Amino acid sequence: MAFIDWVLHPTELWAAFWFFMRHAPPDEKTVKLQVSGDMKRCYDFLEMTSRSFAAVIQELNPKLRDGICLFYLVLRGLDTIEDDMTIPGARKRHLLETFHEIIYQKGWTFKESGPDEKDALLLVEFDIVINEFLRLPTEFQDVIADITRRMGAGMAKYTRARVESLEDYNEYCHYAAGLVGHGLSRLFAVSGLEDKSVGEQLELANSMGLFLQKTNITRDINEDVLDGRCFWPKAVWSKYADSEEHLIDRENRDKGMEALNEMCTNVLQHIPDVLEYLNQIQEPSVFRFCAIPQVMAIATIVLCYDNSRVLDGNVKIRKGEALKLISQATTLDNVKRTFYRYIEQLERKNQPDNPMHNQVAKIIDRTKKDIARTLKGGAPVDFTKEYLVLILFFFTITTFFYSYLTEKSSF
């Protein structure tokens, strides 16, 4: 992150300072220290697959931590096989459809991953994950195996089917992410840390997955098309382009932007379910585990809206912004304030001449009303601007005063 970014975003500088104070080694080490042998190796894998998210999983309540760590690694294993374009179709479908049995096979490993698979090592040493999976309480194993079976079958279907309609799009995202929301919600309930109704409200849990998955699919269009795959539903992009390549083509940029904005609008429809899901969660470490990816997603989708850079390459939110989001994802009210702030940012980006303007304006109004109605103290007021003016004011005063003093002393 460039120096200017920190100067322009002082609140993120503070958040970064707070984050590193809280996460300075050796505290993370203490967690690993408490686990040994294969489970320690599993936390190493977790760090390798996603550093930032690994920290959030390691802060989970001990009743859930190992179970969710292993669920994450089983899903990452399945994902690595699905993403691997070097595995022949029939072999890949067989692996995806039987992965829910493979996780019970002691000693199973997989050494056929393609050279570009970043999590290939996880599959090479997957026998270690299986050892620890088999040590989990059976009710945890049952949930993980059930979700792995249904996700594997869904992914196998879409290895030979394309995402044509909006229904296909919702179905594919259900298999790839909605089921993760289902599985986690059932583990939260099984652990006794959350009410059992959380494990039953699966429509809300599904939306938690769809909001994240659709944000990633919308953001990664350039990378996916260049890799020869596309998860944007044809029913959407074919209105604006003759092919996936034409969609990201600079020659066709205006139409490409209309497609991008329609995809962003599709993601925003899941916001009410996301906030209602988070409203159920009582246990603080579970709340943060659920809230952090969601606030990252709202920041990312607002960044993608009407942003031509998405069609040219990978856009990401600033590191400082991510740390600020993590530091503020502590309570439901704070998360609502974060959503409100980004919805206001979206409102500033939503130009009247944008074909999606009216649809997005409706979602903005409804979301602001919902949040203002349920938030203590009503609609949040964003003091950042005032804060900046204040800083500037003091800066000028002190420089003026300093130059006056130095001048006086030189006489």
Under rule CB under 6 A, residue 39 binds ligand D9A: no
Work out how close the CB of 289 gets to ligand D9A at its nearest, in angstroms, rounded to a whole number.
5
63-to-58, 194, 243 alpha-carbon distances in Å = 12, 11, 49
305-to-95, 212, 262, 343 alpha-carbon distances in Å = 37, 15, 9, 11
Under rule CB under 6 A, residue 74 binds ligand D9A: no
Active site residue 186: no
Work out how close the CB of 205 gets to ligand D9A at its nearest, in angstroms, rounded to a whole number.
6
Under rule CB under 6 A, residue 16 binds ligand D9A: no
One residue of 180, 221, 247, 302 binding ligand D9A per CB under 6 A:
180
Q: Which of 410, 247, 226, 214 is nearest to 314 (CA)?
A: 226
Question: Residue 28 CB: number of other CB atoms within 10 A?
Answer: 16
Give the footprint of ligand D9A on residues 200-229 (CB under 6 A).
205, 208-209, 212-213, 216
Active site residue 20: no
Give the footprint of ligand D9A on residues 293-352 (CB under 6 A).
293
One residue of 102, 122, 177, 274 binding ligand D9A per CB under 6 A:
177
Q: Which of 115, 128, 119, 127 is nearest to 42 (CA)?
A: 128
What is the enclosing helix (H) or strand (E) of 403?
helix 384-410
Distance between start and end Cα atoms, the chain: 44
Residues binding ligand D9A: number (CB under 6 A): 22
One residue of 147, 176, 268, 346 binding ligand D9A per CB under 6 A:
176
One residue of 72, 99, 140, 339 binding ligand D9A per CB under 6 A:
72
Hey, what long-range contacts does 278-285 have (CB within 8 A, 24 or more apart)? 278/332, 278/335, 279/332, 280/194, 280/195, 280/197, 280/198, 280/201, 280/204, 281/188, 281/194, 281/198, 282/193, 282/194, 282/195, 283/61, 283/188, 283/193, 283/194, 284/330, 285/59, 285/60, 285/61, 285/64
Under rule CB under 6 A, residue 50 binds ligand D9A: yes
Under rule CB under 6 A, residue 14 binds ligand D9A: no
Structure tokens given for 146: 């059930």
One residue of 15, 39, 55, 68 binding ligand D9A per CB under 6 A:
68
For tokens 């390798």, what's the residue? 48
Binding mask 132-161 for ligand D9A (x = CB under 6 A): ------------------------------
**Close Cβ partners of 298 (under 8 Å, ≥ 6 residues apart):** 271, 338, 339, 342, 343
Catalytic residue among 93, 186, 219, 337: 219
One residue of 87, 123, 290, 299 binding ligand D9A per CB under 6 A:
290
Work out how close the CB of 343 gets to ligand D9A at its nearest, in angstroms, rounded to a whole number.
21
One residue of 289, 305, 340, 342 binding ligand D9A per CB under 6 A:
289
Structure tokens given for 283: 């246990």
Q: Which of 317/379 has CB closer to ligand D9A?
A: 317
Catalytic residue among 149, 150, 229, 341: 229
Active site residue 229: yes
Work out how close the CB of 354 gets to ligand D9A at its nearest, in angstroms, rounded to a whole number.
26
CB-based contact 111:127 (threshold 8 Å): no
* Positions that interact with ligand D9A (CB under 6 A): 50, 52-53, 68, 71-72, 75, 176-177, 180-181, 184-185, 205, 208-209, 212-213, 216, 289-290, 293
